[in-house]
Amino acid sequence: MSRTVRVAVAQSGPIQKTDSREHVVARLLEMMKQAAAGKCNIVLFTELALTTFFPRYYEEDRGKMDDWFESGMPNSATRPLFDTARELGIGFSLVFAELTADQHHYNTQILVDTQANIVGRYRKVHLPGHAEYEPERAWQHLEKRYFEPGNLGFPVWRTMGGVMGMCICNDRRWPETFRVMGLQGVELVMLGYNTPTLNSMKPEETAATRMHHNHLCMQAGAYQNACWVAGCAKAGDEDGHDLMAGSCIINPDGEIVALAQSNEDEVIVHDCDLDECAFLKKTTFDFDAHRRIEHYGLISSQTGAVPPPE
Amino acid sequence: MSRTVRVAVAQSGPIQKTDSREHVVARLLEMMKQAAAGKCNIVLFTELALTTFFPRYYEEDRGKMDDWFESGMPNSATRPLFDTARELGIGFSLVFAELTADQHHYNTQILVDTQANIVGRYRKVHLPGHAEYEPERAWQHLEKRYFEPGNLGFPVWRTMGGVMGMCICNDRRWPETFRVMGLQGVELVMLGYNTPTLNSMKPEETAATRMHHNHLCMQAGAYQNACWVAGCAKAGDEDGHDLMAGSCIINPDGEIVALAQSNEDEVIVHDCDLDECAFLKKTTFDFDAHRRIEHYGLISSQTGAVPPPE
């Protein structure tokens, strides 16, 4: 069996508040068909791929935000994605706001195989932002209000010929995310992001610096765990709020090998040879030979920073 | 008290096997004086700053390698560094092979304050390479033969107006290194490296890719822990083995703000405002608000990678 996975990253342009799920799914289907026509094995969609980035809106009554959530997957609006994927024999990964049967809210990603079976589910662990209205911000970022932190850890799945992992947006800034998957031998990490082009707390921070942060974290995660990373943006102007693009595919050397060029719906493709992970996993990043866990205790025992006394 | 530390990184050009400690120290003194003349508060020297990178040489009888080690610090050869530092009122950090009174061997870094007191000691935790002769390598990398892994963890020190950390060479490739210091509020990490320009196991790996790996790890460590990082190379041709240069100073955004331009002895300088760490430590990387240690257990409990069953 070939160990090369042809990966399509399907960047989304902006999605407006009034856009229906059906309208959005039609855009995703168009990109899925394009990926399948290019003989891709899997197509990665972005974070909150079905809606606008609604955590920018404050609502005192959280229950009123449930319309942004999916209470079943597939559901009537998203079933065409599953049907078309099965028909075309392409896998996909989708991120959406999940409302569970027992009323929990998560920022959730699924991995769907080429027979349209949901084979993996991840729930975003690192929720950025805040839970209450913060007037000092240029705009709100209320992920901690509308979502609970993921309760599934960072699992990996052996499917499509390799070891697959998922994470979402802010997760990529935390090396722990990639390392926990690296310790399970991950070979391809798929992630989506909705990241503002401006910093709501630091207006002088340039878009270039913010894109550098974005790529830096994914590149380091790839290299330091000797895996491929695919990052998929939601880009462009959503209701006056600009989201950065920069969707990319990164090799196990941490080098960007494919990069989106627009702020619109755009598919980028790369043949990811999972066997390319082996060299670094066996040498520089032979964890068994080189890691020294006796000195890592703080990482999993202490949450916040504790500087030495003044 | 000002929170700006003017940091000098004193890259070393090559040191040959026959170069005496006195000869090498004279070169370091020259750079220390240059840094002090530029009103720097501290000068960082590289890994194994007193000798050639001797772990490239195989010696069956390890005891015969003890000549490469320092059994006291300061000693007669290095005392001029301490005397001159005190006289000029400049701190410094030096990395050398340490032979302890009870016959342990470490790759050790010291932090010396502006009164020439040794205020911090770090011993390299992540030893790369191997312990026995490996004929398949283009050259040997016997750090695991001649050194024991450091036994001091990753401490930080409050000195010179800030929270200072140290690590050495291969430590920089491991995000755990920076994170353990980040959890102690580190504001400036000083590290030295002796890194071959070529990969002994992969001759086709380019120098550019290897420099990218070098900078990527330091930049990610800086950004993800909102600290300054100073990296100091030993560069150039040591006995036919080329070492990469690329000494640099990196800000808490993970951006390189000073970069060496040569493969020789060279001093680069930057005013590192430690208060610049505060923004990211309070927002994106407010560890207390955002880290989820309940999902990090594998990092400190499992050394090697364990992929899911085939």
Sequence spans of domains, chain A: 4-301
Q: How confident is the model over A222-273, as pLDDT tens digits?
A: 999 999 999 999 999 999 999 999 999 999 999 999 999 999 999 999 999 9
pLDDT at residue A51, as a whole number: 98
Q: What is the pLDDT of residue A2?
A: 67
B47 is catalytic: yes
Q: What's the number of CA atoms in the CB half-sphere (13 Å) around residue B234?
A: 30
Tokens of A29: 């289907």
Q: What is the residue type of A145? A: R
**Pairwise CA distance, residues A260 & A273, whole Å:** 20
Active-site residue, selected from the candidate residues B40, B124, B217, B227:
B124
B224 chain-A contacts, CB cut-off 8 A: 173-175, 217, 220
State the pLDDT at residue B107.
98
Contact B156, B227 (CB under 8 A): no
Residue A1 has pLDDT above 60, yes or no: no
Q: Least CA distance to B309: which residue of chain A?
A: A158
Please name the member of B286, B288, B299 whose beta carbon is closest to the beta carbon of A176: B299
Are A284 and B309 in contact (CB < 8 Å)? no
pLDDT tens for residues A69-82?
A: 999 999 999 999 99
Q: Catalytic: A169?
A: yes
As a whole number of angstroms, the distance between CA B176 and CA B167 comes to 11
Which of the residues A136, A183, A214 would you substitute to probe the B interface, choosing the one with the greatest number of B C-beta atoms within 10 Å? A183
pTM of the full structure: 0.98
Catalytic: B134?
A: no
Burial class (CB in 10 A: 0-12, 13-18, 19+), A143: buried
pLDDT in tens, B59-114: 999 999 999 999 999 999 999 999 999 999 999 999 999 999 999 999 999 999 99
Chain A residue at shortest CA distance from B290:
A126
* A291/B176 touch (CB, cutoff 8 Å), yes or no: yes
Query: Which residue in chain B has the smallest CA separation from A298?
Result: B180
Instruction: Give me the CATH code for the B4-301 domain, please.
Output: 3.60.110.10
pLDDT band at A126 (very low <50, low <70, confident <90, very high): very high
- The partner residue sitting opposite B305, judged by closest CB among A182, A217, A302, is A182
Report pLDDT digits (tens) over B154-186: 999 999 999 999 999 999 999 999 999 999 999
Give pLDDT, residue A138.
Answer: 86
Hey, are the CB atoms on A306 and B184 less than 8 Å from each other?
yes
Residue B36's pLDDT is: 98
Q: Phi and psi for B56 in degrees, rounded to 5?
A: -80, -10
Do the Cβ atoms of A231 and A211 come closer than 8 Å?
no
pLDDT band at B239 (very low <50, low <70, confident <90, very high): very high
Residue A33 reports pLDDT greater than 80: yes
Q: What is the pLDDT of residues A158-198, one digit of tens each?
A: 999 999 999 999 999 999 999 999 999 999 999 999 999 99
Smallest Cα distance from B138 to chain A, Å: 14
The reply to whether omega before B74 is within 30° of 0 (cis) is: yes
Residue indicated by tokens 């600009």: A242
Report strand pairing: A105-112 vs A91-99: antiparallel
Among A40, A47, A187, A238, the active-site one is A47
pLDDT at B2 over 70: no
Q: Nearest 5 degrees, angle CA B249-CA B253-CA B256?
A: 30
Q: Span B232-239, mean pLDDT?
A: 97
pLDDT in tens, B192-224: 999 999 999 999 999 999 999 999 999 999 999
pLDDT of residue B1: 53
Which residue is catalytic, options A98, A124, A167, A234? A124
Instruction: Answer whether A217 sits within 8 Å of B220, measured CB to CB.
Output: yes
Q: Which residues contact B133 (CB under 8 A, 6 or more apart)?
A: B58, B140
Residue numbers in B near A158 (CB within 8 A): 307-310
Per-residue pLDDT tens over the stretch B103-142: 999 999 999 999 999 999 999 999 999 999 999 998 999 9
Cα B166 to Cα A137, A191, B112, B183: the distances in Å are 36, 33, 12, 14
Q: Which pLDDT belongs to residue A292?
A: 98
Dist CA B218 CA B223 (whole Å): 9
